[in-house]
């Protein structure tokens, strides 16, 4: 079944409410032709998430542990893999529920500090791969915090000052 997004838009997305999709014991995550944003929503439901081998990684993917906070599904023998996961879950409903709840807890523990730490880590690692030194154009002018803050109103100033923080060095997401 494919989602008809034009019809959904006309109806105000009444059939696409995330809360109404969290009523099943199992939720399957399958990527389409590209990266999908739905994994975090599927895990947030608290149902046991069946993850079909994803090609793309999300910022929290390193925190995923097979059979701990999701159930892996192989693309080879996919139908059998899904059948076996459901069979196991039906035979062990309490443990299947715990797997779902641990996935939900992983999503609840993802705070902006973790996201910013990931972004800093990603940019730092990417920068280490660069083999050139960017040079600013001769017309560039340095902007300091004072010159930005002097143009800001009180609300903007509070926001700018609160966002000028150092990253938290507490990583919840495990590195490989």
Q: What are the pLDDT digits (tens) for 30-88?
A: 988 877 788 999 999 999 999 999 988 888 888 899 999 999 999 999 999 999 999 99
The pLDDT of residue 44: 93
Distance CA 67, CA 69 (A): 6
What is the pLDDT averaged over residues 155-170? Answer: 71
- Structure confidence at residue 166 (pLDDT): 54
pLDDT for the residue numbered 176: 42
Confidence band of 1 (pLDDT split at 50, 70, 90):
low
Reported as a pLDDT band with limits 50, 70 and 90, residue 171 is very low
Could you report the per-residue pLDDT of 136-147, keeping only the tens digit for each? 899 988 777 777
What pLDDT sits at residue 5?
72
Instruction: Say if residue 98's pLDDT is above 90.
Output: yes
Taking residues 17-32, what's their average pLDDT? 85
Q: What is the reported pLDDT for 160?
A: 82
Most confident of the ranges 23-27, 60-64, 92-96: 92-96
What is the model's pLDDT at position 175? 44
Are 31 and 142 in contact, with CB atoms under 8 Å apart? no
**Mean pLDDT in the chain?**
85
Residues 117 and 106: their CA atoms lie apart, in Å, by 16
pTM of the model: 0.65
């Amino acid at each position: 079944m494919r989602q008809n997004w034009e019809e959904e838009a006309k109806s105000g997305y009444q059939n696409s409410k995330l809360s109404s999709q969290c009523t099943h014991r199992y939720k399957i995550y399958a990527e389409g032709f590209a990266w999908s944003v739905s994994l975090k929503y599927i895990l947030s439901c608290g149902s046991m998430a069946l993850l079909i081998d994803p090609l793309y990684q999300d910022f929290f993917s390193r925190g995923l542990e097979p059979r701990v906070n999701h159930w892996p599904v192989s693309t080879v023998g996919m139908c059998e893999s899904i059948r076996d996961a459901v069979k196991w879950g039906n035979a062990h409903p309490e443990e299947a529920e715990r797997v779902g709840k641990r996935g939900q807890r992983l999503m609840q523990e993802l705070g902006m500090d973790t996201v910013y730490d990931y972004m800093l880590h990603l940019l730092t690692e990417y920068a280490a791969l660069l083999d050139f030194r960017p040079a600013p154009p001769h017309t560039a002018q340095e902007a300091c915090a004072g010159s930005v803050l002097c143009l800001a109103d009180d609300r903007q100033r509070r926001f700018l000052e609160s966002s000028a923080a150092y990253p938290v060095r507490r990583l919840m997401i495990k590195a490989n």
